[in-house]
């Protein structure tokens, strides 16, 4: 009788590799004997993969080796077998031209790694912006139970001890430098402190937003997301993650689809709005939802955004770094404050419902975690706008914009690419004034792999006069650490003929956030004429991954996943002849 049919044997996925008395079973076990695991271990114990995106070119993930070691200890303590697998590390500030296209590549690597190896569950270790959504997307598609742990925020301290020592501080100081209010020397000194410790960006940028959202989605242990990377408590969480991973491995549950349902996404969007989080997270959540068959659309973000006030007083839209949010009670306390707006029956990876997770949570500082009727800022944190300039939608982080610009009408000044901005933004011949609308196009998913260029710099002459915000519109993204009146992710993008491609210098553009309207004030007839004249630029990538990317990437309103990666497979294990195939023999 096949071992799997014996009633006393747990239905472990790894049994297909290790519990067979045939030649493949022999080879699988004897191969791992070299790694120190006995036949009895492999026949009896659940196997947990630790997918690790550590690299020393990625300081945001620099502590992941330590966390992997702690997770490994937790797995062994709980009776499991740990195997650590290194995956590609996406270092946001280093990768050229932008890390964004590689999110999908890492997601594919994670998915196929999980599927191909005998893992009963996996621990996902990510940190820097794209590593987190990529791991989630890949694991969601693989269908094997997983638990996520982020590297944790860095602990930056500026030389003056202020809270400017982070990426948001960089943007603010660059503004001051361009406005002539900061010396090159002082700016240079900042270089040594801004990324002073391992860990991801310490404000509510994309990495912190993704990390806290993992708690709201229910795929991370409660309270784990905001503990700083260098804080010993993070290693405690890693060990606990290891222990819990063995339980879900042994049970074969909960699978990703059992946790990542519509309630989980609603809860995640609610938290995203409450923390004034990164617009990038919208793209990542849309892509993740696509992997598990949840019909999430941009409209759902706007619906939820209308009823959720921004209550976390954290940068870039608020005052503090995320460490203060942790000491104020962390994500459990935030979720408890948001309880009337949440699905409290949603499942979480620690085995409890959301209601039970937040029951004992407590807000310890109401200046950092505000009450629902006392928000950090009035109005919505994030909105979705539509109109003839963005038929499929665009997003705006209104909580980080000058409220004066939320209803605005101005003359378009077009930049075809980022190099033109660098060359010409200060050119007086462009006649830019504070009411102008700066437009960057050809920076969408196909046009330029959607870099974070959406916070276009302001002209020096306006900065010197004290102007600190202007309306900017693009098909690009914006760093989660950035701020300003930036309409982003315009869909469809210019490079595939979206209306953004038809705008001309001097056209009038209207933004009306209360009405959720983005309008190009040009008649239909004229637009039709321009559309006829428009020609796509030939693609730059003829081979390799970037060619694949351009052929298959979806538009921003669908999450920029590959069209062929939507939908989760049923768990597919090697079968039949393939199962009996013996590599190398
Ligand atoms: Fe890695 Fe910000 S640069 S998280």
DSSP 228-256: -TTSHHHHHHHHHHHHHHHHHHHHT-S-H
pLDDT at 156 over 80: no
Q: Which residue lies with its CA nearest to atom 1 of ligand 1?
A: 128
Q: Provide the domain limits for residue 443.
A: 383-533
**Which of 2-6, 296-300, 457-461, 581-585 is modeled with the greatest confidence?**
296-300
Residue 479 falls inside a structural domain: yes
**Which of 8-17, 170-179, 281-290 is modeled with the greatest confidence?**
281-290
Candidates 244, 258, 273, 215; CA nearest to 70 is 244
Q: What is the pTM of this model?
A: 0.94
Cα 501 to averaged position of ligand 1 atoms, centre (Å): 31
Q: What is the pLDDT of residues 420-436, one digit of tens each?
A: 999 999 999 999 999 99
Candidates 120, 115, 117; CA nearest to 146 is 120
Cα 401 to averaged position of ligand 1 atoms, centre (Å): 22
pLDDT at 103 over 90: yes
The whole-number pLDDT of residue 181 equals: 82
Quickly state the pLDDT bin for 539 (edges 50, 70, 90): confident
Q: What is the pLDDT of residues 466-496, one digit of tens each?
A: 999 999 999 999 998 888 999 999 999 999 9
Distance CA 401, CA 205 (A): 15
The whole-number pLDDT of residue 484 equals: 94
Mean pLDDT computed over 320-347: 97
Decide: 438 and 414 in contact? Cβ < 8 Å.
no
The whole-number pLDDT of residue 165 equals: 59
Q: For the chain, how big is the Rg over CA atoms in Å?
A: 25
Q: What is the pLDDT of residues 61-100, one digit of tens each?
A: 999 999 999 999 999 999 999 999 999 999 999 999 999 9
pLDDT at 583 over 50: no
Residue 449 falls inside a structural domain: yes
The whole-number pLDDT of residue 571 equals: 55
The whole-number pLDDT of residue 572 equals: 53
pLDDT at 195 over 80: no
More confident residue, 269 or 578: 269
DSSP, collapsed to helix, strand or coil, labels residue 412 as strand
The whole-number pLDDT of residue 74 equals: 98
Residue 495 falls inside a structural domain: yes
The whole-number pLDDT of residue 164 equals: 61
The whole-number pLDDT of residue 27 equals: 95
Mean pLDDT computed over 276-289: 97
pLDDT at 169 over 80: no
Q: Which residue lies with its CA nearest to atom 3 of ligand 1?
A: 92
Residue 565 falls inside a structural domain: no
Task: Please list every protein residue whose CB sits less than 6 Å from any atom of ligand 1.
Answer: 60, 92-93, 128-129, 167, 200-201, 205, 207
Decide: 347 and 341 in contact? Cβ < 8 Å.
no
Q: What percent of the chain has pLDDT over 90?
A: 83
Quickly state the pLDDT bin for 170 (edges 50, 70, 90): confident
Q: What is the pLDDT of residues 455-467, one digit of tens each?
A: 999 999 999 999 9
Distance CA 78, CA 153 (A): 28
The whole-number pLDDT of residue 348 equals: 98
pLDDT at 10 over 60: no
The whole-number pLDDT of residue 177 equals: 84
Cα 269 to averaged position of ligand 1 atoms, centre (Å): 21
Residue 64 falls inside a structural domain: no
Decide: 75 and 243 in contact? Cβ < 8 Å.
yes
Rounded to the nearest 10°, the torsion over CA 96, 128, 176, 487 is 80
pLDDT at 345 over 80: yes
Q: Which residue lies with its CA nearest to atom 2 of ligand 1?
A: 201
pLDDT at 182 over 50: yes
Describe the strand order of the beta sheet including 121-126 as a list of residue ranges.
81-86, 47-52, 121-126, 146-150
Residue 95 falls inside a structural domain: no
DSSP, collapsed to helix, strand or coil, labels residue 541 as coil
**In total, how many domains does the chain have?**
1
Mean pLDDT computed over 115-123: 97
Give the residue ranges of DSSP H helices in 347-488.
354-358, 418-424, 445-448, 460-464
Minimum mean pLDDT range among 27-31, 168-172, 396-400, 401-405: 168-172
Q: What percent of the chain has pLDDT over 70?
A: 94
Q: For residue 60, give the ligand 1 atom closest to its CA.
A: 1
Residues with Cβ < 8 Å from 360, sequence gap 6 or more?
none
The whole-number pLDDT of residue 409 equals: 98
**CATH code: domain of residue 507:** 3.50.30.80
Residue 503 falls inside a structural domain: yes
- Residue 186 phi, psi (nearest 5): -65, -40
> Ligand 1: which of 155, 201, 203, 479 to mutate, most ligand atoms within 8 Å of CB?
201
pLDDT at 163 over 90: no
Count how many Cα atoms sit within 13 Å of the Cα of residue 246 in the half-sphere of its side chain. 21
The whole-number pLDDT of residue 336 equals: 98
Q: Please, what is the average pLDDT of the chain?
A: 92
Count how many Cα atoms sit within 13 Å of the Cα of residue 76 in the half-sphere of its side chain. 10
> Ligand 1: which of 200, 211, 321, 479 to mutate, most ligand atoms within 8 Å of CB?
200
Cα 368 to averaged position of ligand 1 atoms, centre (Å): 23
Both structure tokens of 1: 């009788």
pLDDT at 129 over 80: yes
Residue 60 falls inside a structural domain: no
CB atoms within 10 A of CB 418: 18
Helix 131-142 vs helix 206-217: crossing angle, to nearest 10: 30
Quickly state the pLDDT bin for 575 (edges 50, 70, 90): very low
């Amino acid at each position: 009788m096949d071992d799997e049919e014996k009633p006393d044997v747990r239905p472990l996925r790894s049994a297909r590799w290790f519990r067979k008395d045939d030649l493949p079973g022999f080879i699988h076990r004897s191969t791992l004997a070299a790694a120190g695991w006995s036949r009895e271990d492999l026949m009896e114990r659940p196997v947990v993969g630790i997918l690790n995106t550590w690299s020393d070119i990625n300081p945001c993930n620099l502590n992941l080796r330590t966390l992997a070691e702690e997770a490994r200890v937790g797995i062994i303590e709980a009776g499991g077998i740990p195997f650590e697998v290194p995956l590609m590390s996406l270092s946001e500030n280093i990768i050229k031209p932008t890390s964004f296209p590689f999110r999908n590549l890492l997601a594919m690597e994670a998915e196929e790694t999980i599927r191909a190896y005998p893992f009963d569950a996996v621990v996902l270790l990510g940190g820097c912006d794209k590593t987190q959504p990529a791991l989630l997307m890949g694991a969601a598609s693989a269908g094997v139970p997983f638990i996520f742990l982020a590297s944790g925020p860095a602990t930056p301290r500026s030389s003056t001890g202020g809270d400017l020592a982070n990426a948001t501080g960089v943007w603010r100081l660059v503004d001051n430098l361009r406005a002539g209010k900061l010396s090159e020397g002082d700016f240079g000194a900042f270089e040594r402190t801004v990324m002073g410790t391992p860990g991801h960006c310490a404000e509510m940028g994309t990495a912190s937003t993704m990390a806290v959202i993992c708690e709201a989605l229910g795929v991370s242990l409660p309270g784990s997301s905001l503990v700083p990377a260098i804080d010993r408590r993070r290693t405690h969480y890693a060990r606990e993650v290891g222990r819990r991973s063995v339980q879900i491995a042994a049970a074969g549950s909960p699978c990703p689809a059992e946790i990542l349902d519509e309630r989980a996404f609603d809860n995640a969007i609610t938290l995203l709005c409450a923390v004034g989080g990164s617009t990038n997270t919208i793209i990542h959540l849309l892509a993740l939802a696509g992997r598990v068959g949840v019909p999430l659309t941009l409209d759902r973000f706007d619906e939820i955004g209308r009823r959720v006030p921004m209550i976390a007083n954290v940068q870039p839209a608020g005052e503090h770094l995320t460490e203060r949010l942790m000491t104020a009670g962390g994500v459990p306390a935030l979720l408890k404050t948001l309880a009337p707006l949440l699905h409290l029956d949603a499942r979480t990876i620690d085995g409890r419902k959301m209601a039970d997770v937040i029951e004992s949570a407590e807000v310890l500082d109401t200046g950092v975690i505000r009450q629902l009727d006392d928000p950090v800022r009035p109005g919505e944190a994030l909105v979705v706008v539509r109109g003839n300039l963005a038929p499929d939608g665009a997003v705006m982080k209104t909580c980080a914009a000058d409220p004066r610009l939320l209803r605005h009408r101005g003359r378009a000044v077009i930049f075809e690419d980022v190099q033109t901005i660098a060359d010409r933004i200060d050119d007086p011949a462009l006649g830019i004034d504070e009411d102008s609308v700066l437009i960057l196009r050809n920076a969408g998913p196909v046009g330029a792999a959607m870099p974070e260029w959406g916070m276009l710099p302001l002209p020096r002459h306006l900065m010197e006069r004290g102007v600190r915000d202007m309306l900017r519109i693009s098909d690009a993204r914006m760093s989660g650490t950035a701020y300003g009146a930036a309409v982003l992710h315009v869909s469809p993008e210019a490079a595939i003929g979206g209306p953004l491609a038809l705008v001309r210098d001097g056209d009038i553009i209207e933004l009306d956030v209360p009405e959720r309207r983005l309008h190009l004030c040009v008649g239909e007839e004229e637009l039709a004429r321009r559309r006829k004249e428009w020609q796509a630029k030939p693609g730059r990538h003829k081979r390799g991954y970037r060619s694949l990317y351009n052929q298959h990437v979806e538009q921003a309103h669908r999450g920029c996943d590959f069209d062929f990666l939507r939908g989760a497979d049923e768990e597919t294990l090697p079968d039949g002849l393939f199962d009996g195939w013996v590599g190398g023999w």
